[in-house]
Chain A
Amino acid sequence: MSRIEIPADALPVERPLRVDDRHGGVVVVRTAAGAICAFRDVCPHARWRLSLGGVVDGHLECSGHGMRFELDTGRCIDVDSYRLEPVAVMQNGGSITIVVEDEVARFEGDAP
């Protein structure tokens, strides 16, 4: 298990950020209410990178085909059987820590 630290101010409100790791990457989102959530950066529908999408009406919307996910649960509001895989994340002062089950993980600055 390893931790990726990113500066808290690298994560604007409701703009998904991608963090690379060896398991396909993580998407991190700060909600309008200030909570931070993180999931595997892959849409269960057709494996699009969720980090290429955006937050619309409080839902993470995949830019591939428009699937929408609740940020607190990862549940898809369009298809019941789709659910995002959560990744542990926490904010501590000026830093956000993502906990991944990986030997090597890195943060690559700005999301695409």
Chain B
Amino acid sequence: MKVTYLGQACTLVEVDGRRILVDPWLTEGAYFGSWFHTHLLSDAGVSVEEVVRGPIDYVFLSHEHPDHADPATLRLLPKATPILICRFPTPRFRRHLETLGLENVREIEQGARLDLGDDLTITAFGGAEYPNDSALLIEGEGRRFFNETDCKLPYETLEEIGRKGIDIGFFMFSGATWFPMMYDYPDEERRRHVRRRRGALLKSFIERVRVTRPRYAVPSSGPCTVLDPERLWLNDPEDSIFIDPTEASAALGAAGLAALPLQMVAGDVWDDSAGLERRSPGLAVVDRRRYVEEAAEKSAPIVAEWRRRELPAGDDLGERLEQYFDERIVPLSPTMRQRIGTKLALHVAGPRGGDWTVDFTAPGPHFTRRGTSDDWTYRIEVEDKLLYPFVSGEREFLEDLFLSLRARLARRPDRYNEPLYNFFYDPDPKRLESWYEPNRNPC
């Protein structure tokens, strides 16, 4: 078995004469130009054209986030490439892939072992949370490869995997969300949240490695690097949950587990007989702060050009915004609206901007209106040109807006509103009702 790491959660697994590509994000600037790879793919010598030239027998995609299922990369694949995904509660991921022109998308039942012939099998495990997410186990040539991607698996699934152990496992260790950085906290409070989250993330990483028992554990699926000159602070370990992979390796090494931390950078190759081949030895040891400064300097013109090319919002933004939210809130049951219970103040900056309230507590039939009031419970500030693609229907996944790290948020009380987050992620009323039905007890 040979595994080439291609950055983030992307791995090319060569086993039993087959080549399986997992979660290919092989361009830069996901989420409106905000996310770059831990190390720039250009620095690591990884070329999207070379990778997609293949041959590739299968592509496994864990979920729709563009740092895992990058539309720009996927559009370069032959349309008939077999694409394997987990079967999720709704077909939205499959439909999304079909709109990218992929014609051979196959859904695998969660937890079912798919036989690819000649002793090669793959198993896709679904996550424990509402959003679509999945992890992958590949077994072949007597070896077991595991890629967690971003998936938070139930404990018993990890325990089951650990019964036989893993030869090489790729595990998430860094934060990958906008909390707490994009929230309106005073600096010291935000840093306190950051410290707590970083500690919990590293503890969780170690625990998941302990339970799954890999021979080699590769910290992966992050961190992103933010190269927007106005947001470089998002790389600072005091101010953000994006963790340096060397910190994860060190924490794992100190935990005294049998698993060996294996630091890989994009381009590196692990072979089960030959061991690790480093293609860019300097990148594995470069000081992160210095690397980010240099990468930011050389990427500044690219980022500036992307910004310049962002299309302005349409002059019908207000009308579309009101329609967008009302269309999604009206089908919810009163109980579900009450569970979300949010009065969202939306401050949209830019020439087409304005203030709106999206009020889940309103009696209906309308839930979105112009203007805001002081009794908001959630507040979002965003540029008109970033919001417009979503309310106009051009972009489907509203969560991408928050993951762009270009929206600012506040909440009162200061508590995670899980139903609201799940609504933003996927407002399908049946899916939400099913998730919150009283007897859906994970125990």
- Cα(A42)–Cα(B442), bound, Å: 9
Q: Enumerate chain A residues within 8 angstroms of B207, measured Cβ to Cβ.
A: 48, 52, 63-64
- Contact in complex: B442, A65 (CB < 8 Å): no
Cβ of B232 under 8 Å from chain A: no
Contacts of B308 in A (CB 8 A): none
CA distance A82 to B174 in the complex (A): 24
Report whether A79 and B128 are in contact in the complex, using a CB–CB cutoff of 8 Å: no
Interface residues on A, range: 20 to 34
Give the interface segment out of B56-64, B150-158, B371-379, B399-407: B150-158
In the complex, A85 has a CB within 8 A of chain B = yes
Range for the number of chain B residues in contact with chain A: 20 to 34
Q: Which of A25-56 contact B (CB under 8 A)?
A: 40, 42-49, 52
A81 interface residue (CB < 8 Å to B): yes
B132-169 interface (Cβ within 8 A of A): 152-156
Given the complex of chains A and B, what is the CA–CA distance between A79 and B130 in angstroms?
A: 13
Which of B96-104, B358-366, B413-421 lies at the interface with chain A? B413-421
Q: Which residues of chain A have C-beta atoms less than 8 A from B441's C-beta?
A: 44
Q: Knowing A63-B203, A64-B207 are in contact, say whether A45-B128 is a contact too (CB < 8 A).
A: yes
- List, sorted by A's number, 17 A–B pairs whose CB atoms are closer than 8 Å: A42-B442, A42-B443, A43-B155, A44-B441, A44-B442, A45-B128, A46-B153, A52-B207, A64-B155, A64-B204, A64-B208, A66-B199, A79-B416, A79-B418, A80-B418, A81-B436, A85-B443
The interface of chain B, by Cβ under 8 A from chain A, is 127-129, 152-156, 196-197, 199-201, 203-204, 207-208, 415-419, 436, 441-443
Apart from A63-B203, A65-B204, 10 more pairs, CB < 8 Å: A47-B128, A47-B154, A47-B156, A47-B442, A49-B155, A61-B200, A64-B208, A66-B197, A66-B200, A78-B415
